[in-house]
Amino acid sequence: MDRIFNFSAGPANLPLAVLEQAREELLSWQGRGLSVMEDSHRGRQFIELAEQSERDLRELLGISDEYAVLFMQGGATLQFAMIPMTLAREGQGVDYLITGHWGRKASSEAAKLRPLRVVADGEALQYRSVPARGEWALGGDAAYFHYTANETLHGLEIDPPPDVDHAPLVCDMSSTLLSRPIPVDRFGLIYACAQKNLGPAGVTVVIVRRDLLERVPEDTPLAFNYRRIAAAGSMLNTPATFSWYVASLVFRWVAGQGGVAGMAERNRRKAMRVYDYIDGSDFYANHVAPEWRSWMNVPFTLADPELNGAFLEDSEAQGLYGLKGHRAVGGMRASIYNAMPEEGVEALVGFMEEFERKA
Ligand X SMILES: Cc1ncc(COP(=O)(O)O)c(C=O)c1O
Among 45, 77, 92, 281, indicate the residue that binds ligand X (CB under 6 A).
77
Query: Which amino acid is located at 216 in the chain?
Result: V
Please spell the DSSP secondary structure of 284-318, one letter per residue. EE--S-GGGB-SSEEEEEESSGGGHHHHHHHHHHT
Neighbours of 203 (CB within 10 A): 28
Choose the catalytic residue: 39, 56, 95, 172: 172
- Residue whose CB is less far from ligand X, 148 or 225: 148
Among 73, 86, 107, 148, indicate the residue that binds ligand X (CB under 6 A).
148
- Residue whose CB is less far from ligand X, 53 or 79: 79
Q: How far is CA 245 from CA 155, 240, 256, 271, in A?
A: 29, 9, 17, 29
Using CB under 6 A, which of the segments 168-176, 249-257, 302-310, 320-328 binds ligand X? 168-176
Q: How far apart are CA 109 and CA 208, in angstroms?
A: 20
Residue in 281, 331, 318, 344 with CA at minimum distance from that of residue 14: 344
Q: Does 193 bind ligand X (CB under 6 A)?
A: yes
Q: How far apart are CA 59 and CA 283, in angstroms?
A: 44
Q: Which helix (H) or strand (E) holds 335?
A: strand 332-335
Backbone phi and psi for residue 279, each to the nearest 5 degrees, phi listed first: -65, -25
Query: What separation, in Å, do the N-terminal and C-terminal C-alpha atoms of the chain show?
Result: 31
196 is catalytic: yes
Choose the catalytic residue: 196, 253, 270, 292: 196
324 is catalytic: no
141 is catalytic: no
Minimal distance, residue 299 CB to ligand X, in Å: 13
Choose the catalytic residue: 29, 39, 56, 102: 102
Q: Does 102 bind ligand X (CB under 6 A)?
A: yes
Q: Does 174 bind ligand X (CB under 6 A)?
A: yes
Size of the site for ligand X (CB under 6 A): 11
Using CB under 6 A, which of the segments 30-38, 169-177, 236-244, 252-260 binds ligand X? 169-177
- DSSP-derived letter for residue 334 is E
- Residue whose CB is less far from ligand X, 173 or 302: 173
Distance of CA 294 to the CA centre of its chain: 12
User: Residue 67: which residues within 8 A CB-CB, separation 6 or more?
Assistant: 184, 207, 208, 209, 210
- Residue whose CB is less far from ligand X, 112 or 166: 112
- Residue whose CB is less far from ligand X, 293 or 311: 293
- Residue whose CB is less far from ligand X, 174 or 338: 174
- DSSP-derived letter for residue 163 is -
Among 13, 14, 18, 75, indicate the residue that binds ligand X (CB under 6 A).
75
Which residue minimizes CB distance to ligand X? 75
Minimal distance, residue 322 CB to ligand X, in Å: 13
Using CB under 6 A, which of the segments 172-180, 277-285, 305-313, 314-322 binds ligand X? 172-180
Give me the residues that bind ligand X (CB under 6 A), please: 10, 75-77, 102, 148, 152, 172, 174-175, 193
Active site residues: 102, 172, 196
